[in-house]
Structure 1
Amino acid sequence: MRNAFVLCCSVALLGTVGTASAQDWTKSKWGPNDEIGAANYMKPELVVKAAGLVKTGKTYALGIPVDSKTPAYPPRAFKVTIVQPGQAGIPGLGPTKTTYNDDIIEGWVGVGSQLDGLGHIGVEHVYYNGNKLADFADPTGLKKLGVEKVPPMVTRGVLLDMAAYYNTDVVKEGTAFNVKEIEEVAKKQNVEIRQGDVVIFHTGWLSLIGKDDKRFGAGEPGLGVEGAKYLTGKGVVAVGADTWGVEAVPFETKNVFEVHQILLTMNGTYILENMDTAELAKDKAYEFLFVLGQPRFKGAVQSMINPVAIR
């Protein structure tokens, strides 16, 4: 099967936008100046309620370690170089002979666990809230919708264990989670999806890294089109998964990354990719306090992240 990572350059969208203009489809319910989308759902009272979920104090790192071998969407790559600037030929700096290491990162932001910002995906070069590519995208950084605008995400997190639902360790690629599957899993786990939540799917897919990288990148199970509409209708802040692209690949239709369009472009709902959900699933931690303060790279499209789940 052709690597699904290459499909980003394919033509999609006609079936998505129909006869309506892209700008109509991407308007924000929070007004013409809105740049944070579904983050508007997060209110102080929701933070207080989410904090009440902490009973044991156990924490879970949802980010994965990243190095030059981490599989990523081509042509993305990443490496770290360690240097000791200005220290060649000397025992150290000053009377105490201080030495230090620094690091240089070379690579793409969209490697490993990442937050997709609202400037990432568009419809016919129109992005969230009617922002046209030519008006806001610049090689030196986005003029709007940069990840630095995203407020801290402190809210209720919900894990939907799809691997348990399908009674498998790793859900098959191309498996789409739509309304039926989402509602059945939520009912089985006795959790309710609410406005302001972060919803994360566990599929076991991340376990393929280092064991079968080729399969990992060639497809994935994930959110379906109707499932995306269902979750955005619920008013969730973000949707994540232990997969590289969150949505089902091969795609359900000929449309390319349509779920990304529904979430990011049309609803301002953030995407969290490559979330490490294994321990949450093992502990059956289906609801928790979700905390994310992403690096605020000004004008960036994405951000490497390590969210924390707390029970």
Structure 2
Amino acid sequence: MGDTGIRTGKAPKSEWGPDDEHGATNRITPESRASIMARIDGHRVYDLSVDYFVGMPSFQAAGDPAYQIWMSHTPRGTVVDNLNGVGDQINRACGYSGDVILMYTHTGTHIDALNHFAYGRETYNGFDADAHLGSRSWERAGSEQILPLIARGILIDIAAHKGVEVLAPSYGITAEDLEECLAAQGTVIRPGDIVLVRTGRMQYWPDGSRVFGDSPGLTVEAAAWITDHKVVAVGADNEAVERTPSFDDENWLPGHCHFLIDHGVPQMECVFLEDLSRDKVYEFAFIGAPIRLRGATGSPIRPLAFPLAE
């Protein structure tokens, strides 16, 4: 692979100032939010997320925990153990259920925070692991710093444009692919947009053996082409947005570094784009926000796409 332009030394400083933690989500303004909200056709909504369940595909190869859920309180159990302390008579009259979940934050449809990747010890905007990483989480640029995503969304349906069910394993989507697909769709990327790229992989969900591994996705050159358009965020229907493996001997996920560290662009993975593709909805209002997990490197997100009124 040729020169990717990826640095391995220091993270660049943010264009929004030395203390900025929001990154490209700063491009969302009250005016831009109002503009896209005014164009919504509320008769339809597309849910771009997957549900969470025991046995769902997850990134367990690196030792991260799979999604788990269990009951901490049950109607019959509280009668027996009275863990809520209200007594037998009340517990028999008022059943009580409660549960607990455990999972890796990069599970299912999720968004990567700007502290997810680093050059050495420096992540977005030069935040340093020695100064800003505590015992349990980062002190800077966590998922709680990603501003609510309300913006114009664009689908770039590469698989459909190429006339295939799904792109070939490890296919590297080029800038030329993006340009040709957009031209064929009759859509353009504007500053402040959220760009979603379809490879076709998520049509196989929840078969993890077909969704994950040797993923088609963006090359670094294509990633740079997208960030040149001053987008707010990027997402794809694969495991990494970029292609895997990277075919870069010096960086196993250079696209992550480009989006998150160099440009402060949060990226969403395992986004469900099949319904948008089926209906050929290429422009829409995108609304979504991560759970505000302080300091976390990622978070589940439930993105919604609303078609625009004619």
Q: In the alignment, what sits opposite 1:293?
A: 289
Paired residue for 2:235, among 213, 222, 240? 240
SS class of match (1:22)? coil
Residue pair 1:194, 1:236 contacting (<8 A) in 2 also: yes
Q: Measure the CA separation in 1 of the matches of 2:229 and 2:89.
A: 58
CA contact (8 A) 1:244 1:274 kept: yes
- The RMSD of aligned alpha carbons is 2.1
Matched, 1:124 2:138: no
Aligned position for 1:61: 47
**2-structure distance, mates of 1:94, 1:72:** 41
Cα displacement (A) at 1:52: 3.7
Which residue does the alignment assign to 1:227?
A: 222
Cα displacement string for residues 251-293 of structure 1 (whole angstroms, at most 9, x for unaligned residues): 2432310000000000000100100100011111101110112
Greater CA drift, 49-58 or 37-46? 49-58
Q: 2:73 corresponds to which residue? A: 84
Q: Which residue is equivalent to 1:99?
A: 95
Matches within 5 A, 1:1-311: 16-17=6-7, 21-23=9-11, 26-55=12-41, 57-74=43-60, 75-76=63-64, 77-84=66-73, 87-89=78-80, 94=90, 97-211=93-207, 213-254=208-249, 255-311=251-307
- Aligned AA for 1:106? L
Q: CA deviation at 1:108?
A: 1.3
> Contact 2:153–2:193 at 8 Å: present in 1 too?
yes
Residues 134-156 of structure 1, C-alpha deviations (whole Å, 9 max, x = no match): 11112322111111122111000
Q: Where in structure 2 are there 5+ consecutive unaligned residues? A: none
Unmatched 5+ residue regions in structure 1?
A: 1-12
CA distance in structure 2 between the partners assigned to 1:192 and 1:92 by the alignment? 64
What's the TM-score, normalizing by structure 2? 0.89
User: How many percent of aligned residue pairs carry the same amino acid?
Assistant: 29
4+ residue stretches of structure 1 with deviation over 4 A? 90-93
How far is the alpha carbon of 1:95 from its aligned partner? 8.6
Asked whether the equivalents of residues 79 and 92 of structure 2 are also in contact (C-alpha less than 8 Å), the reply is no
Change (3 A) 1:32 1:99: same
**Distance (Å, rounded) in 2 between the aligned partners of 1:100 and 1:300:** 31
* Partner secondary structure for residue 234 of structure 1: coil
Q: Deviations over 1:162-186 (max 9, x none)?
A: 1111211111121122210111111
Contact 1:224/1:252 (8 A) holds in 2: no
Aligned residues: 294
